[in-house]
Structure 1
């Protein structure tokens, strides 16, 4: 199958639009015709990581229609509309316990996992492409996935809206609905109003929370957060945020979601919690947060991490789509579609804050 793909041949260079050959699906594989794919920060971080094993095919928020299936591909059938998400083994203790994001084989399956026999799934100019990113590498017109990371959705689902549910929206919404689980009288602070943070804001509205505060340096995103239900949007560039949050919440946040991956911000989020408060960190950053142990212990506070919203994608993604259909989860306010040939504009608009979640179409 010949199709176009966005390849990374140099971590410092733009993506290149090239023809690639996608193999027919083998046992346990599913060939998906990609209609839309979200651009996630993880794609860009991975592209910039360097390494000699190029070209690399990224993309891990794909949505489309099943073109063909190999043997032992489970209940997925040709013609099914699907959303692609992260891989998991389904057999380890975490998977059996309903927490597939913490699968013991997660790194091997999601970080460019290859076929057991090492034969290439995708080639460019006759040479293998490094693929298998999150078990999909969906920056292409076709992708090979597996039953564990292929979620069947309703036939009428808009792929542009559904694609980001595979990772970013799932992460933010799940962190609120599955982990924090705040009551309506909670005071929630969201640090970072990108795609993950904004999905957290929308999920908080689903939970009935009225006191939602956003901390975000970009003015346009602060305005959007306010229009989506936040009662306050704080610019961290104007000074330390802890006292401001304590003032707005009359004592501190009961819950916080840190999407930034910044150790400094996580420490600030913990400091701004009320007694018994919880902060969940979802951003993969670096560094050690300067958290006051006495404050954590004496305040009975909780600091914990969260991957992929602690979600089971096969149930959570359809649930979020149902919420959207009911008008309760307006992700259409966050998404903008671009042709995959216009990826430069999509990235520029995202960096400038004009767009929360750019989605590429094929």
Structure 2
């Protein structure tokens, strides 16, 4: 079938919105008419080569839409279902079997090989421009397009009454921040959570932390407008990193080292600040994506004294549980992530990316042509 998609031809190229051919769903696959898809930092760094997706390709990995067709053997979703497109995974490796598909042993292949991961057509792309291959299946979906072909088991069915055009970012950015709190940190009563970076991931972490028994939720950022929004979304304290020593300010607020520090920027000096913000038995959680090859150093002695440094991907856990919970919390008015979103048309994808890079927009979401409301 013919679809409209935003293609990246080469490293550092602009997007080109054009017509492509997409395969029909085969065994185990589903065709989703994309209503809207979020734009994530990972899409931007892939354009620059920090995630090695082959070109030309279609990016996008925060899609939500309506199932239009399913292949043989699909039973978990049906035509007409409203869905969020979750991350792909092999389903058979040790991590997948243990309930952590975000850490699938074939993760690199699943998210950025440009081809199907599973099924009888594994290893084949799904997008074409005449006789030319356009690489597909970015994070199993390539949702910067009017339609996405995905592995059916990665789909999360959501209630029909939920605002479908808003839900795509729950596949990655929003779930990443919230899941880092709910699944990785899990703060106990009276503990402190510090969030470095008040972007989409960081502010999602703030909203999640506000739903826990943590009594101090501290946000560190350079921009007062984002710090103000963080306070509205549940931060108990904020720190202007451009005006004060952030680590000292955090420890003053917390009455000593923090229990948890979430690093959401991927900026290496900020990684060190996050690590230095926690003390014995404290945990620094690395979330933000740094450039390829980036390294950081920490003080050995203070880390030896029971400090933990852990990474987390996509919010950890299973998509259906985390995304389902966030949809329900939003419907109850307890997780207002819609306040982070600004909508753009697919034709304006370069403007959306520029707005994200500049910080003018926290979470751009692209509406597909003629499908804005599903």
Q: TM-score with structure 1 length normalisation?
A: 0.95
The one of 333, 343, 353 aligned to 2:349: 343
- The 1:287/1:23 distance shift into structure 2, 3 A limit, reads closer
CA distance in 2, matches of 1:338, 1:46: 20
CA distance in 2, matches of 1:99, 1:15: 33
Residues 1:156 and 2:161 are matched in the alignment: yes
What per-residue deviation string (whole Å, max 9, x for no partner) do you get for residues 104-152 of structure 1? Answer: 1111222135244655411124421111111100000000001232111
Equivalence for 1:272: 277
- For 2:153 and 2:106, the matched residues in 1 are separated by 13
Per-residue deviation, 1:91: 1.1
Are 1:296 and 2:303 an aligned pair?
Answer: yes
Question: Residue 209 of structure 2: which of 198, 204, 207 is its match?
Answer: 204
Q: Are the aligned partners of 1:82 and 1:151 in contact in 2 as well (CA < 8 Å)?
A: yes
**Aligned twin of 2:20:** 20
| Counterpart check, 1:133 vs 2:134 | no
Deviations along 1:220-248, one digit per CA (max 9) or x if unpaired, are 21221122121222232334311111111
Q: Is the 8 A contact 1:267 1:291 kept in 2?
A: yes
1:32-81, CA deviations, whole angstroms, 9 ceiling, x for partnerless residues?
00001000111111111188943211000000000000112231111010
SS of equivalent to 2:217:
strand
Shift of 1:350: 1.9
Alignment partner, residue 107 of structure 1: 108
- Give deviations 1:177-236, integer Å, cap 9, x for gaps: 111001241211101111111110010011143411111123321221122121222232
Q: Does residue 326 of structure 2 align to residue 325 of structure 1?
A: no
| TM-fit CA distance, 1:341 | 1.2
Given the alignment of the two structures, is residue 240 of structure 1 paired with residue 245 of structure 2, yes or no?
yes
Give the Å deviation of 1:354: 2.5
Question: Number of matched residues?
Answer: 361
Provide the rounded CA distance (Å) in 2 between the counterparts of 1:32 and 1:89. Answer: 20
Structure 2 gaps of 5+ residues are 369-374
Task: Let me know the Cα RMSD of the aligned residues.
Answer: 1.8
Given the two structures, how large is their TM-score scaled by the length of structure 2? 0.92
Kept after mapping to 1: 8 A contact 2:54/2:113: no
